[in-house]
């Protein structure tokens, strides 16, 4: 337990004032104000953006949260899928990494 | 300064002079268009297909569109008597023989509206409306959209546009822009049979797209060119020879996913465009319809609209 | 067709997607995600992008192309070479053979002025009273700039072999050697597999072939298109036509 | 473009009364890419239709500004943890600082300045974040040309967003005959917020714009360049205006700055600018240059010649002859004019 992977020191956050979302049957159309882009997010990617809007969470915490919120097993929602989704969201600017130290 | 009046009410000589001076001003829907470049084929076209459209021979104000129909610069002595539309910004425009002036005119106006006017979300789609609201039809070229539009006009709908759905930024309303409907190749006889010879322009033959003719908008459509409407239905028509007619309802998200790439300026307009497009799809349905004949397509539309909409 | 058109009545079923099927859908989506499907999609609008892709077709020449142009603006297009010797000119026999074996011949007047030979024996079409003030007057420029200009004039840049080469060709006598001819023709060589981007030869006001051999190829392609449409036979004609068609689809 | 048109565009002369003149002015402003600037300068006394047209232009500029702010955000993201504090130049800086010069201005690329020894790391980081050499310059000749002779990396285009970033490490090419002390200017650049990205201060922004226009040879858009200089100039405080001369001397841009001041007086009748120019300048801008600028800006019939002179001059200033001649020859292939207008030169 002592040696946590370096990525977990990072916490992710989002600002709900920066985006607008409309839900269409489990699909979310999201307008992101800073980039002026419109994205389609599915329940998972939107769930992640939404989850970190109320307070920064680490990757591990996000993973746990998604499994609980959507009643998914570890097998159904593997760690790697959350990791790649985080990186997609980060690239689009929808979520921001904060240093754990700050 | 003259008040706007129908093309038909002007003397051909005055029309020609106004086109030469670059003071010919066409008013239609939300836009005004200043056009320069006189040619006999264009004058023939205007006095027939545009006879009921409102124009001024001297503009009373600045205009949205500034279109010059001019001889191509470099090859002007190379292939005789050619014409090319210059909408005032960089597009590689192809020189056309003078006889294709109507095409250059229509093309130039379309380019101007598509790429220059961004007070509306422009979606490449046909729009017709009745008292219940507007039907937006988005299809790839050759999808039978023009034929379906023409057919719906015979069944109690008025013409908004066969080319652009103009969606307001402040309210998700559709705005009419009833330019003539452009008909290509084999659709010309189909629509001619439907609406009668009197409504179809002279066929421009041998264009890069084959034969082209224009179906003249009705005076009643032009009279309502300032009356906007709420959408009642979004359709993605698909003509396929010999296919059994079928309608598939789309999730609004899928409809948006298809409408946005058909828009020339959605990305440019940002947040208001997001509100407008989600507003457009609010409480209405979207269908993909596939059919092999005009009759089938009309029956599909009828069946869909008969199910009372939310 | 006697069958009734089918419009599935989905008004109820749609809104009552059961929790079970929703969960099943979600699981499926996650499996796709694990397999590499992106979990988000960014919408890209714009007909301009479609425009660009239609306009960016390129022509790669399957064989080498040689174009012979005479003073009347005739052109012959083929693959043979024509011998050229400094001071003597082109080999007449080669010219005759080239014309004979040419794949295409364009009648007088088809070649725009720019590509006509510089050295034409009889100045017949000198009614060039147009207003193309192409000759820059740079008297006012400093001598240094002037020199610079001369050095950078594009006389034979880019492999254009002209019948008479302005610089270093002092053999100005007009006596006609039977076997060689040093005036009246320009010869342009495009090599096999060279690539031409037609969109580079357009501008806001139409086709605007650049002043080089590729420009000549484009100019001739347009003539070909105006006569034969997209009939196969001319290299890259479909690319030319696709650009022309773009404007058709705008309509 | 007429002199009076430039003044109307920046809102210091009334718009023409006659409709056809008004239309011509709009057409001109649009063709010179300053319709947005005209829209933001002319807010009162505008007909509904003109308002519509202005709104079109402002919507476009608005989109550009959002895009640009986001690119700055992505740049910070890409450089985070490196300690590099790039200076955003030109349009990006005006937008980030909310300058008058940004109003309605279209911006397509993000230009940034970094120290020469940071160049490598910036390039690496940007490539990791999805930028890669733009197709148009992704060939050996252009790549080598940029790296050896120019003052920037070849433009980098973001694979997903399609946006372009130009990374400079000096304001003029390595080979330029006169050079600007860019280190001095970087020293006084200021952070935009708490973020590491910076811009020049107001005085240096003007100095840089002048250098860009009159020493760097960006003469393809004279009307736009002059409008920009004017808008930057009128926003200078009187103290800043007085500081121009000493600053221009200190950073080695005195010629460009006095030419800019001369032009501001010439085209916008700003007497103070002329006074400053006269004071600052030992010698007036040479007459060929003045003539070429005026000719090109006013689109007199000899404009192609003026453009040629300015083109050559801009290269002449940037590079020694030895380098210039082969480059011109290469770029000149498409060059022999076949129309009245010379073919647009690909400006590196």
Contacts of C154 in chain D (CB under 8 A): 329, 332-336
Domains, chain A? 11-97 (3.90.930.60)
Q: How confident is the model at residue B254 (pLDDT cuts 50, 70, 90)?
A: confident
Q: Is A54 on the interface with B (CB under 8 A)?
A: no
pLDDT tens digit string along A13-60? 999 999 999 999 888 999 999 999 999 999 999 999 999 999 999 999
For A1, half-sphere exposure in the C-beta direction (CA atoms, 13 angstrom radius) is: 0
* Lowest mean per-residue pLDDT among A73-87, B13-27, B95-109, D332-346: D332-346
pLDDT category at C162 given cuts 50, 70, 90 is very low
Overall domain count for chain C: 1
In whole angstroms, give the CA distance from residue B132 to residue B136. Answer: 13
φ/ψ of D62, rounded to 5, equals: -60, -40
pLDDT, residue C171, reads 38
Q: Which of A9, A19, A37, A97 to mutate to test the interface with D (most CBs of D within 10 A)?
A: A37
Q: Looking at residue D149, what is its pLDDT?
A: 58
| Chain-centroid distance, C-alpha B25 | 18
Antiparallel, parallel or unpaired: β A57-58 and A10-13: antiparallel
Q: What is the pLDDT of residues D123-132, one digit of tens each?
A: 999 999 999 8
Higher pLDDT, D302 or C118: C118
Q: Which band of pLDDT confidence, cut at 50, 70 and 90, is reported for residue B175? A: very high
CB within 8 Å: B251 and A25: yes
**Per-residue model confidence (pLDDT) at position D317:** 46
pLDDT recorded at residue B208: 65
- Taking only the tens place, the pLDDT of each residue in D8-42 is 999 999 999 999 999 999 999 998 899 999 999 99
pLDDT higher than threshold 50 for residue C243: yes
Answer whether residue C28 shows pLDDT above 70: yes
**Res D287: pLDDT:** 54
Report the mean per-residue pLDDT for chain C: 66
pLDDT over threshold 80, residue C135: no
Task: Calculate the average pLDDT of chain B.
Answer: 89
Between C34-48, D86-100, D204-218, the lowest mean confidence (pLDDT) is in C34-48
Least confident residue range of C13-27, D268-282, D319-333: D319-333
Residue B182 — φ and ψ, nearest 5°? Answer: -85, 130
Q: How many whole angstroms separate alpha carbon C74 and alpha carbon B151?
A: 51
Task: Name which residue leads in pLDDT, B201 or D327.
Answer: B201
Distance of alpha carbon D304 from alpha carbon C223, whole angstroms: 29
Neighbours of B113 (CB within 10 A): 26
pLDDT higher than threshold 60 for residue D49: yes
pLDDT higher for B98 or D296?
B98
pLDDT bucket at C128, cuts 50 / 70 / 90? very low
Position D284 confidence tier, pLDDT thresholds 50, 70, 90:
low
Strands D131-133 and C59-60 come out as unpaired
Region C79-85 average pLDDT: 89
Please give the pLDDT value at position A73.
Answer: 94
Closest by CA position to B148, among listed B18, B5, B293, B282: B293
Task: Compare all CA atoms of chain B with the CA of D57 and give the residue at the minimum distance.
Answer: B118
Rg (CA), chain B: 19
**Which of the residue ranges B250-259, C178-187, C224-233 would you say has the lowest mean pLDDT?**
C224-233
Residue B86: list chain C partners with CB under 8 A.
204-205
Arithmetic mean of pLDDT over chain D: 79
- Sheet of strand C65-70, all strands in order from the earlier edge strand to the far edge: C104-106, C75-78, C65-70, C185-190
Q: Which domains are assigned to chain B?
A: 5-116 (no CATH), 120-179+217-306 (3.90.228.20)
Which of B291-300, C241-250, D333-342 has the weakest average pLDDT?
D333-342
pLDDT in tens, B13-53: 999 999 999 999 999 999 999 999 999 999 999 999 999 99
More confident residue, D172 or A35: A35
pLDDT at B194: 93
The residue with greater pLDDT, C154 or C239, is C239
Give the percent of chain C with pLDDT over 70.
Answer: 56
Question: How far is it, in rounded angstroms, from Cα C231 to Cα D203?
Answer: 63
Share of chain B above pLDDT 90, in %: 67
Query: Domains in chain D and their CATH numbers?
Result: 75-199 (3.30.460), 201-336 (no CATH)
Can you give the pLDDT at residue D296? 61
Distance CA B182, CA B201 (A): 10
What residues in A contact B278, CB-CB < 8 Å? 22, 29
Lowest mean pLDDT among D17-31, D214-228, D328-342: D328-342
pLDDT of C130 above 70: no
Torsion angle defined by CA atoms of residues D7, D8, D10 and D13, in that order, rounded to the nearest 10 degrees: 70
Q: Which helix (H) or strand (E) holds B231?
A: strand B231-239
Sorting pLDDT into bands at 50, 70 and 90, what band is D139? Answer: low
D163 touching A (Cβ < 8 Å): no
Give the E-state strand segments of chain D in sequence order. Answer: 87-88, 109-113, 131-133, 156-158, 164-168, 190-191, 198-199
How high is the mean pLDDT of chain A?
Answer: 89
Measured CA angle at C155 (ends C150, C158), to 5 deg: 125
Q: Among C191, C178, C202, which residue's Cα sits nearest to residue C64?
A: C191
Q: Which residues of A touch C (CB under 8 A)?
A: 25-26, 37-45, 70-72, 76-78, 80-81, 84-85, 88-89, 92
To the nearest whole Å, the CA of D8 is away from the closest chain A CA by 32
Nearest-CA neighbor of B301 among B95, B61, B129? B129
Chain B positions in Cβ-Cβ contact with residue C48 (cut-off 8 Å): 115, 264
Q: How far is CA D126 from CA C88, D80, D312, in A?
A: 57, 11, 33
Evaluate if residue D247 carries a pLDDT over 90: yes
What is the pLDDT, as a whole number, of residue D258?
84
Which range marks the domain in which residue C156 is found?
A: 53-123+134-249
- The number of angstroms, rounded, from the C-alpha of C98 to the middle of its chain's C-alpha atoms is 23
- Residue D115, burial from CB neighbour count under 10 angstroms (0-12, 13-18, 19+): middle
C249 neighbourhood in chain B, CB within 8 Å: 141, 209
Identify the residue among C10, C11, C39 best suited for mutation to test binding to A, counting A beta carbons within 10 A and taking the highest. Answer: C39
Indicate whether B168 pLDDT > 90. yes
D60, D62, D65, D66: best to mutate for the A interface, most A CBs within 10 A: D66
* Cβ proximity of B145 and B139 under 8 Å: yes
CB atoms within 10 A of CB B63: 25
Per-residue pLDDT tens over the stretch B46-94: 999 999 999 999 999 999 999 999 876 544 444 456 777 787 776 655 6
Averaged pLDDT for residues C203-215: 69
Nearest to C211 among D313, D324, D336 (CB): D336
Residue scoring higher pLDDT (D107 or D311): D107
How much is the average pLDDT of C216-225? 85
Residues D29-56 have a mean pLDDT of 92
Is residue C76 in a domain?
A: yes
Closest C-alpha to D236, from D268, D202, D262, D266:
D202
Select from B210, B265, B300 the Cβ nearest to the Cβ of C7. Answer: B300
């Amino acid at each position: 337990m002592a040696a946590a992977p370096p990525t977990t020191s990072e916490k992710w956050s989002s600002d709900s004032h920066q985006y607008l979302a409309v839900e269409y049957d489990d699909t979310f159309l999201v307008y992101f104000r800073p980039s002026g882009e419109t994205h389609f997010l599915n329940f998972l990617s939107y769930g992640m953006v939404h989850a970190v809007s109320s307070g920064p969470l680490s990757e591990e915490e996000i993973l746990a949260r998604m499994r609980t919120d959507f009643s998914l097993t570890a097998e159904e929602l593997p760690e790697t899928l959350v990791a790649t989704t985080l990186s997609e969201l980060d690239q689009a600017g929808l979520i921001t990494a904060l240093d754990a130290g700050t | 300064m003259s008040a706007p009046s129908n093309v038909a009410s002007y003397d051909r000589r005055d029309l020609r002079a106004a086109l030469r001076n670059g003071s010919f001003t066409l008013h239609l829907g939300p836009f005004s268009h200043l056009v320069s470049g006189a040619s006999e084929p264009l004058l023939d076209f205007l006095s027939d297909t545009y006879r009921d459209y409102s124009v001024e021979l001297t503009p009373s104000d600045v205009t949205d569109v500034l279109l010059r129909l001019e001889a191509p610069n470099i090859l002007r002595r190379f292939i005789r008597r050619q014409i090319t539309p210059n909408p005032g910004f960089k597009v590689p425009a192809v020189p056309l023989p003078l006889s294709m002036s109507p095409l250059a005119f229509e093309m130039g106006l379309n380019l101007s509206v598509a790429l220059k006017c961004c007070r509306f979300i422009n979606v490449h789609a046909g729009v017709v409306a009745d008292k219940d609201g507007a039907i937006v039809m988005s299809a790839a070229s050759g999808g039978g959209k023009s034929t379906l539009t023409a057919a719906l006009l015979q069944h109690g709908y008025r013409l908004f546009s066969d080319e652009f759905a103009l969606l307001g930024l402040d309210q998700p309303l559709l705005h009419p822009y009833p330019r003539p409907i452009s008909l290509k190749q084999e659709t010309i006889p189909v629509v001619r049979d439907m609406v009668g010879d009197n409504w179809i322009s002279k066929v421009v033959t041998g264009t890069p797209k084959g034969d082209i003719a224009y179906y003249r908008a009705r005076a009643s459509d032009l009279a309502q060119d300032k009356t906007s409407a709420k959408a009642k239905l979004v359709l993605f028509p698909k003509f396929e020879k010999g296919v059994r007619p079928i309608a598939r309802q789309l999730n609004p998200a899928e409809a948006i996913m298809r409408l946005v790439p058909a828009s020339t300026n959605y990305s440019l307009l940002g947040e208001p465009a997001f509100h407008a497009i989600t507003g457009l799809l609010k409480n209405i349905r979207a269908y993909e319809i596939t059919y092999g004949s005009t009759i089938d397509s009309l029956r599909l539309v009828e069946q869909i609209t008969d199910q009372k909409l939310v | 067709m006697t069958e009734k058109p089918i419009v599935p009545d989905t008004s109820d079923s749609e809104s009552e997607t059961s929790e079970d099927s929703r969960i099943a859908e979600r699981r499926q989506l996650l499996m796709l995600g694990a397999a590499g499907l992106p979990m988000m999609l960014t919408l890209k609008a714009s007909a301009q992008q479609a425009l660009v892709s239609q306009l960016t077709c390129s022509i790669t020449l399957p064989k080498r192309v040689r174009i012979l142009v005479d003073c009347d603006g005739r052109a012959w297009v083929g693959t043979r070479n024509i011998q050229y010797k400094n001071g003597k000119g082109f080999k007449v026999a080669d010219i005759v053979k080239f014309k004979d074996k040419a794949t295409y011949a364009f009648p007088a007047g088809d070649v725009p002025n720019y590509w006509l030979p510089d050295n034409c024996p009889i100045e017949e079409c000198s009614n060039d009273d147009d207003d193309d003030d192409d000759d820059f007057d740079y008297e006012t420029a400093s001598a240094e700039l002037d020199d610079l200009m001369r050095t950078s004039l594009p006389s034979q840049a880019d492999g254009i072999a002209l019948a008479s080469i302005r610089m270093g060709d002092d053999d100005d006598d007009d006596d006609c050697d039977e076997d060689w001819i040093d005036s009246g023709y320009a010869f342009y060589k495009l090599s096999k597999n060279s690539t031409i981007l037609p969109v580079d030869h357009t501008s806001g006001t139409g086709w605007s072939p650049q002043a080089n051999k590729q420009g000549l190829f484009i100019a001739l392609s347009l003539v070909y298109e105006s006569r034969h449409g997209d009939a196969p036979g001319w290299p890259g004609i479909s690319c030319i036509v696709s650009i022309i068609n773009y404007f058709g689809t705008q309509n | 473009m007429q002199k009076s048109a430039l003044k109307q565009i920046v809102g210091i002369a009334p718009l023409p009364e006659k409709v056809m003149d008004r239309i011509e002015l709009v057409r001109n402003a649009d063709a010179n890419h300053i319709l947005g600037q005209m829209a933001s300068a002319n807010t009162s006394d505008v007909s509904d239709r003109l308002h519509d047209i202005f709104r079109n232009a402002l919507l476009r500029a608005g989109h550009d500004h959002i895009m640009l702010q986001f690119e700055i955000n992505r740049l910070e993201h890409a450089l985070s943890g490196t300690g590099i504090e790039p200076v955003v130049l030109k349009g990006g800086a005006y937008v980030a600082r909310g300058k008058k010069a940004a109003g309605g201005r279209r911006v397509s690329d993000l230009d940034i300045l970094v120290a020469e020894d940071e160049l490598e790391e910036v390039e690496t980081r940007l490539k990791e974040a999805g930028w890669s050499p733009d197709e148009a310059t992704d060939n050996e000749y252009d790549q080598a040309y940029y790296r050896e002779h120019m003052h920037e990396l070849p433009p980098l285009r973001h694979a997903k967003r399609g946006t372009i970033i130009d990374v400079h490490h000096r304001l003029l090419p390595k080979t330029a005959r006169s050079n600007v002390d860019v280190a001095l200017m970087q020293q006084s650049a200021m952070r935009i917020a708490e973020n590491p990205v910076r811009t020049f201060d107001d005085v240096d922004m003007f100095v840089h714009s002048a250098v860009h226009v009159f020493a760097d040879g960006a003469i393809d858009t004279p009307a736009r360049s002059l409008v920009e200089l004017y808008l930057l100039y009128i926003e200078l405080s009187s103290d800043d205006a007085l500081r121009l001369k000493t600053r221009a001397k200190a950073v080695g841009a005195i010629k460009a700055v006095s030419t800019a001041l001369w032009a501001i007086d010439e085209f916008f009748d700003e007497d103070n600018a002329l006074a400053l120019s006269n004071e600052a300048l030992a010698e007036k801008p040479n007459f060929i240059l003045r003539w070429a600028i005026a000719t090109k800006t006013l689109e007199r019939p000899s404009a192609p010649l003026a453009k040629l002179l300015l083109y050559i001059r801009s290269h002449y200033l940037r590079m020694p002859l030895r380098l210039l001649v082969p480059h011109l020859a290469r770029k000149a292939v498409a060059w022999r004019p076949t129309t009245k207008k010379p073919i647009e030169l690909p400006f590196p």
